[in-house]
Amino acid sequence: MTQPPPGQGPIDPRGVFSPPPAPGASPGGMAPPPGYFGQPMPMMMPQPGFMMPPPRGRGVGFAIFMTLIVVVLAVSILLNFMLLFSAGLKGGRDTQQETVIENGDPTNRIAVVSLDGVIMEQAAERFHKLLKSVEDDSTIRALVVEIDSPGGSVTASDEIYHDLLRFKSRPGKTMPVVIAQKSLAASGGYYVSCAGDFIVAEPTTLTGNIGVLFERFNVSRMFDKWGIEETTIKSTHSPFKNAESMFKPETPEANAYLQTIVDDAYGQFSGVVKAGRATATNPLKGKVEDVANGKIYTADQAFKAGLIDLIDYPDKAYAVAATRAGLTGSKPTVVRIKEMPGLLQDLLGAKSGIGTSGGESISTGGNHIEYNGVKIDASTLNDLLRPQLMYLWDGR
């Protein structure tokens, strides 16, 4: 019989084949007292220097990959923010873009600029910037101005007219200016046309409408009905200070006073027409008063009256400009120069649409209002709502 190790008593062979005690039983086989739950399991403490294994599927490579993704996204966001911020700094200055219309000699070029929409202060400013860029380009030999406008304010139309006169008669650098009238070159649009050396109208162009408007609305009768009275106070020695008020009844004296202002503006317009057509290829056929009667004319009627020089399309206007610039040796390059809005304005301009039951749509975006596809600059709308003299075809 095997001897037990030193210090240990003899082994009872009866316990070798005994079944294991029931869970929770005491070593002696006795049932545990109530409330006894046995000895707690000893807590396994990690040995010094022991490292827990990484979770399956997310090793060191995964951590590096996610770090790279975060870094790339952060850099991308930062770069985009810097681009937007940079564009925002330049948002007040429109950039310009050139588009080639006809390929030719790059050292002899014809510039094409457009005058579209209602001619108000901002339109005059934009046109001035385009004209300045043409002046600074030594390769440009002639200018074609494409006009598609119902006219606009007296002052803005006259500013563009003056800009063109100055442009084509610069000391030591004369340059021909040809006008290409599109669908509409009325009132202020025709006023600007008179600064050109040659006017080409398309067969479907409407032009002329030589005259002046000073739009007013009088609501004094409605105010009387509602019991509303205007109480504006004016200085004692300026009885005409409030003569144009829409809230008070009209008087013969006020109307006569305002009529003199409108007639002076008409005299300015008719003088521009007379001067512009005096040296034209197809001059006026009669007195300026015969055509400066506020009528809108078709291209055929305008040609017969001597208001335009040719009925044709823009490509003919480019050819006329090349001939007048003396570019007969080689075909010039024709480029369109236009303004491009700043990136920040283009990207961040909020746009919302409002539909009406009649199928009409209005949307606002950035600095303009769009009504059924026609864009109206917000500042232009403000200009139109204040009383002022207009070289404008109402068309209503």
Q: What amino acid positions are annotated as catalytic residues?
A: 187, 241
Q: Is the dihedral of CA 381, 385, 387, 389 positive or negative?
A: positive
Q: Determine the 3-state secondary structure of 354 from DSSP.
A: strand
Specify the pairing of strand 177-186 against strand 206-208: parallel
Q: How far apart are CA 265 and CA 325, in angstroms?
A: 34
Q: How far apart are CA 18 and CA 245, in angstroms?
A: 119
Q: How far apart are CA 201 and CA 132, in angstroms?
A: 25
Q: How far apart are CA 266 and CA 272, in angstroms?
A: 10
| Structure tokens belonging to residue 257 | 């006073």
Q: Is the dihedral of CA 180, 184, 189, 193 positive or negative?
A: positive
Q: How far apart are CA 194 and CA 188, in angstroms?
A: 10
Nearest Cα to 113, choosing from 276, 392, 334? 334
CA distances from 74 to 81, 156, 347 (A): 11, 48, 20
Strand partners, 289: none
Nearest Cα to 166, choosing from 134, 210, 140? 134
CA distances from 113 to 80, 126, 144, 145, 309 (A): 32, 11, 6, 5, 20
State the DSSP string of 107-118: EEEEEEEEEES-
Measured in degrees and rounded to the nearest 5, phi and psi for residue 82 equal -65, -40
